[in-house]
Amino acid sequence: MARPQNFLSRTGPGCYRKGEKMSTKPSLQKMGIVVAFANLMMGFSLTMSQNYATYSYTDLAKVDATTMSVCMTTVNVIAVIVTLISGAIVSSTRSRFGNFRPWLVGASAVCMAGGFLIFFNIGNSVILKAVIISIGYLLANSTMDFIYTAKAALLGKIAGADSAGRDFLVGRQWQGSAICYVISGFAVVPLVALLGSGNETLGFLLTQLIFTIIVMAGAFWMFKASAQYDPDNSDEAAVNAEKVKFSEMLKAVVTNRQALTVVLCDIVRFTGYYCLFSMMVYQCTKVIGDMMAMSYVLSASNFCSFLGASIAPSLAQKIGGRKRTVALFGLLTGLSFASIGLLGKSMWGFVVSCSLAFFFMSFIDTLDMMLYMDAGEYWLHKTGKDTRPYLISMYNVAVKVALALSSVALGVILNAIHYNPDAMLDAAGSATLTWCTALAPAIGYLLPLAIMLFHKVSDKEMTQIIKENAQKYDTATK
């Protein structure tokens, strides 16, 4: 009987498919540089659509808060459905360009096209504007499922069974992302003002165009650099290889406690995180009273994320592993976000609170992806069913569910403070918004401390499981 596809464990120069030319693959260190810089460039893909979509609804298109909340919730429910099948689609891809690489380029192009629609703002009909923004938001966020799954799977193929190598590559990925966020956090508002010359819609569109060029260049770079790790798989043997049924993929999530705990933790975390990001622009414009404060907060916070991502992989080993590191820094992140309630009414207080939170949060972000990889390795070890690409895609399910929940929460909060885009808040509304901005992410990062108590496999056990899975595959291919 044919083997399930094993996409994470082909590591050595002797592991080649029949008919595949032998060549020297780029070293792990060299690929780490490519991953960092390519991810830096591709990180601009959601800079606009993620941080400014709500602003486009309420302030550019003049959509009321209730309609905006309904639109975003509907879109995110649809996006959850797309996410549930994205991992299966990506993992079953057969092409002359490999299993995962085609998605880096194709999905990135669609993602950036969606970003343009978010800021298109054409016509006089508010309903039409809301529909166009919603379509763009759906395209931008749904395609990220395919991009994320493809990138994560490629990192697994590059590192193979080397657990430390996985930590290294994921760390490089988050370093690149953090640098991107520093640049974009500081650059977006000035670019919009400069390029738009008073026309915000034009400014957002031209800024999106610049980011599109950067993103596509990064996607093509990663596509080319990883070619030897993800070669042509369109031959008959690959097409006819045994595939895991979709029902088995779903079973690997709902009956796998390791996967369930990780997904539930991320749903809670990301709900708080996206609430913060959606409310941050309102905190800056309506409480602090300065749109430029958004640039200062994002620049400082994302620079702190870069610092944290740079030391997280090595520090995790000293603390005692991934799980203990995630728990410790989840506590510190939650407390830092809570301090926004006390400090967030001033610009520099908001900068300090967010910077501390983002520094601690970066340790969780850097290690989080590996917990999904570990859940896939655990299931393969337990059942012999290779559902790893699908389990990696569950990260995107957590994101989409959290986006839907945060959209509902944002609508409730804006209605509670009687939000009016043309008026400043009174003292009570300002205090309510500030504490909501503080407590939503604080709860999001503190509650998973209890959920992770149900995750029973230790880091030491997981390292052994990864090695055993690789040995089984290598033995079968010799």
What would the CATH number be for the domain defined by 34-232+245-465?
Answer: 1.20.1250.20
Please state, in angstroms and rounded to a whole number, the distance separating the CA atoms of residues 340 and 131.
34
Question: What pLDDT was estimated at residue 355?
Answer: 94
Query: What is the maximum alpha-carbon separation in the chain?
Result: 72
Pair of tokens at residue 466: 């990864």
Closest by CA to 353, choosing from 441, 292, 425, 272, is 441
Question: What pLDDT was estimated at residue 354?
Answer: 94
Integer Rg of the chain from CA: 22
The residue among 12 and 442 whose pLDDT is bigger is 442
Half-sphere exposure of 121 (CA within 13 A, CB side): 18
Question: What pLDDT was estimated at residue 473?
Answer: 53
Where do the domains of the chain lie?
34-232+245-465
In the predicted structure, residue 15 carries a pLDDT above the cut 50 = no
Residue at 321: amino acid letter = G
Question: 60-89 burial, b for 16+ CB within 10 Å, e for fewer?
Answer: bbebbbebbbbbbbebbebbbebbbebbbb
Place of tokens 């337990």: 382
- Cβ partners under 8 Å of residue 426, min gap 6: none
Residue range 352-408, pLDDT digits in tens:
999 999 999 988 887 787 788 888 888 888 888 777 777 877 887 888 788 878 888
- Cβ partners under 8 Å of residue 429, min gap 6: 286, 417, 418
The residue among 424 and 267 whose pLDDT is bigger is 267
- Cβ partners under 8 Å of residue 201, min gap 6: 60, 119, 120, 121
Place of tokens 């990506």: 90
Question: What pLDDT was estimated at residue 242?
Answer: 47
Residue range 115-171, pLDDT digits in tens:
999 998 777 888 999 999 999 999 998 898 899 888 888 887 887 766 677 778 877
Pair of tokens at residue 293: 């404060």
Residue range 206-246, pLDDT digits in tens:
999 999 999 999 999 999 999 888 888 777 454 544 466 66
Q: pLDDT category, 4, cuts 50, 70, 90? A: very low
Residue range 264-276, pLDDT digits in tens:
999 999 999 989 9
The number of residues in the chain equals: 478
Percentage of the chain modeled with pLDDT above 90: 27
Please state, in angstroms and rounded to a whole number, the distance separating the CA atoms of residues 137 and 469.
39
Question: What pLDDT was estimated at residue 22?
Answer: 45
Read off the pTM: 0.70
Separation in Å, CA 445 to CA 76, 290, 323, 367: 21, 28, 14, 15
Q: Across residues 66-72, what is the average pLDDT?
A: 87
Half-sphere exposure of 426 (CA within 13 A, CB side): 4
